[in-house]
Structure 1
């Protein structure tokens, strides 16, 4: 009687090699996904903050009242002219996002004409990305640009 030595499986070394390759490839994918997630987080914050500023300006013009954007750590609030008044909008954001009020006053005030009370700029930063938000006098224009 002959002994048939016919193993149709993989060796332990082959399995280890395949698992190593899979783990290396998946680690590269994870690093790229987390970097893209961080970039999207700050981009989303900037888009939402810009939209909320335009909303505040429009609300001030349509209701003919002063509107204020109060910047706090981790959130900002949109209120009427009195602080005791109701909060129109409150948005929270990631604690890693830093908002530095440079030449702007806090709160940011929009007049019933749509103009801003005081021109200036502020900086927003998150994990190496930095944006500058500029408030112009005249027509109350607001724009932001990426610095780095």
Structure 2
């Protein structure tokens, strides 16, 4: 009595597993790059929104408001002296892969009681090796991002 068994050999199964692992590896690496890019863009937009929030707080409290970047502790602090004398009203941590450059002309943005920037300049930083310049202009606090 002869039994006819048909199925996959061990080599065929290993070949299928290797192909599946390659597809998964490529998918994960592409997904990670996309996730990193989204996190970078989210940080840049959040920094721009924080500068605009600082200007809005200056308008709301009819006094000076300031945003300081503390690179040593990876935090951004927003102060409104009229509201809280020495304590920041917002402390926001930013990712460790964000590196502010020492040759930036600004490490803080101050809005006067007239809601205008007290000093224009450039905040230069890199996110995962990608260099980003955030220009702050005099006037109504216009902010432009150059990548």
Moved over 3 A (4+): 81-84
Q: 2:129: which partner in 1?
A: 128
Correspondences of 1:49-68 after superposition (within 5 Å): 49-68=47-66
Return the TM-score normalized by structure 2.
0.89
Contact map agreement 1:61 1:111 (CA 8 A) in 2: no
Correspondences of 1:1-148 after superposition (within 5 Å): 2-4=1-3, 6-73=4-71, 74-81=74-81, 84-100=85-101, 102-104=104-106, 106-146=107-147
* In 1: Cα distance, 2:63 partner to 2:116 partner: 12
Q: What secondary structure is seen at the aligned counterpart in 1 of 2:139?
A: coil
Superposition deviation, residue 30 in structure 1: 1.0
Larger radius of gyration: 1
Q: Which runs of 5+ in 2 are unaligned?
A: none
Contact map agreement 1:69 1:109 (CA 8 A) in 2: yes
Return the TM-score normalized by structure 1.
0.89
* In 1: Cα distance, 2:9 partner to 2:60 partner: 75
Q: Which runs of 5+ in 1 are unaligned?
A: none
- The alignment covers a number of residue pairs equal to 143
CA RMSD after TM alignment: 1.7
